[in-house]
């Protein structure tokens, strides 16, 4: 065996293995338009492709860094129920892998910070954490964020990005749809603005519950997919050919499902303007009404004891 076989070939293989297996260390990424993009330049452009305008997915922390003033925010500690309540096959291993990959305990993170000087509470979903799927932990995180907003009288902004509820948690995951809807109702009883930014994709039980209950509904980019069931499922059900732009943010807005479609670079000024209007309206209403701070723990149904 010569030195090329013993040393050079293994070295070349290891270099390629490192580049392909650890995407975090890679300096380049590929866009949907097939262009090769330098990661640092892409993030400086808010993770939007400068060629085709495609909005790449952001992690929760990346989202907070581009949204809060001066990248300053505090991640709130949220309740973490027992893992794998139904002992679903391979689910525990999936959770371990997702936590290692994202450095998050669950798909939803809640943060406190400021937007142009206005104190706000912000929640975000990380699609890289099992598709942003909602289970007991996500439900608890969302409700904790709402309670924090009520306690501190701040607007609540949420960036949805999810495939729906977790099949691995069955009825416990479906129960979070009801609990999060009740939480939003309590937020509105306290006259606090609730703005939802639907990112690509926002589907399933998330779009069928809290994500569509905002005072203002915003689609992030015109091509963001916003739906309940997938287009293929619908096409096979109705036996009709669907429009090419079916379920995109532009299509949903045109049919009354969204108030605005806003590109990522314009989200900060747009939401600041909306909050300025909504908060003034709240101040006027507060003159004739006394604020009642609600304790969500007393009003929401409890998650199963198994959780």
HEC secondary structure over 141-185: HHHHHHHHHHHHCCCEEEEEEECCECHHHHHHHHHHHHHHHHHHH
Cβ-proximal residues to 73 (8 Å cutoff; 6+ apart), any chain: 64, 111, 112, 113, 122
Contact 183, 146 (CB under 8 A): yes
Residues 220-238: tens digit of each pLDDT: 999 999 999 988 999 999 9
Closest residue by Cα to residue 182 from 296, 88, 280, 272: 296
DSSP string spanning 33-76?
TS-EEEHHHHHHTTTB-TTT--B----HHHHHHHHSGGG-EEEP
pLDDT band, very low/low/confident/very high, at 265 (cuts 50, 70, 90): very high
Q: β-strands 156-162, 118-125: how paired?
A: parallel
pLDDT score, position 86:
95
pLDDT score, position 19:
44
* Average confidence score pLDDT of the chain: 88
Both tokens of 122, joined, read: 């912000």
Q: β-strands 260-262, 194-202: how paired?
A: unpaired
pTM of the entire predicted model? 0.85
Contact 176, 134 (CB under 8 A): yes
Cβ-proximal residues to 140 (8 Å cutoff; 6+ apart), any chain: 78, 79, 80, 81, 303
The sign one gets for the Cα dihedral 238, 241, 247, 251 is negative
Contact 28, 38 (CB under 8 A): yes
Residues 32-88: tens digit of each pLDDT: 888 889 888 898 999 999 989 999 999 999 999 999 999 999 999 999 999 999 999
Both tokens of 157, joined, read: 């902004």
Which residue is listed with tokens 């139904």?
86
pLDDT band, very low/low/confident/very high, at 172 (cuts 50, 70, 90): very high
170 burial level (CB within 10 Å; 0-12, 13-18, 19+):
middle
The pair phi, psi for residue 54, each rounded to 5°, is -65, 130
The pair phi, psi for residue 265, each rounded to 5°, is -70, -20
pLDDT score, position 17:
47
């Amino acid at each position: 065996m010569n030195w090329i076989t013993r040393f050079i070939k293994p070295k070349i293989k290891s270099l390629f293995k490192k580049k392909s297996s650890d995407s975090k260390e890679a300096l380049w990424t590929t866009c949907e338009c097939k262009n090769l993009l330098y990661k640092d330049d892409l993030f400086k452009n808010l993770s939007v492709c400068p060629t085709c305008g495609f909005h790449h997915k952001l992690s929760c922390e990346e989202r907070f860094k581009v949204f809060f003033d001066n990248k300053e925010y505090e991640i709130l500690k949220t309740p973490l129920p027992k893992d794998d309540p139904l002992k679903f096959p391979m689910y525990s291993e999936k959770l371990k892998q997702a936590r290692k990959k994202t450095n998050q305990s669950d798909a939803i993170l809640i943060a406190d910070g400021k937007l142009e000087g206005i104190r706000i509470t912000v929640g975000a979903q990380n699609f890289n954490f099992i598709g942003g799927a909602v289970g007991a932990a996500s439900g608890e995180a969302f409700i904790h964020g709402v309670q924090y907003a009520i306690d501190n009288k701040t607007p609540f902004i949420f960036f949805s990005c999810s495939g729906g509820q977790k099949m691995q948690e069955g009825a416990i995951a479906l129960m979070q749809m009801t609990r999060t809807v009740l939480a939003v109702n309590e937020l509105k009883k306290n006259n606090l603005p609730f703005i939802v930014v639907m990112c690509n994709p926002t589907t399933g039980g998330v779009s069928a519950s809290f994500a569509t209950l905002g005072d203002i509904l915003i689609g992030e980019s015109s091509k963001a997919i916003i739906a309940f069931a997938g287009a293929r499922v619908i096409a096979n059900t109705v036996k009709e050919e669907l429009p090419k732009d079916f379920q995109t943010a532009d299509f949903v807005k045109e049919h009354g499902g969204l108030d605005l479609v806003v590109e990522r670079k314009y989200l900060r000024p747009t939401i600041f303007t909306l909050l300025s209007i909504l908060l003034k309206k709240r101040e006027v209403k507060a003159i004739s009404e006394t604020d009642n701070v609600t304790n969500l723990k007393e009003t929401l149904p409890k998650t199963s004891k198994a959780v």
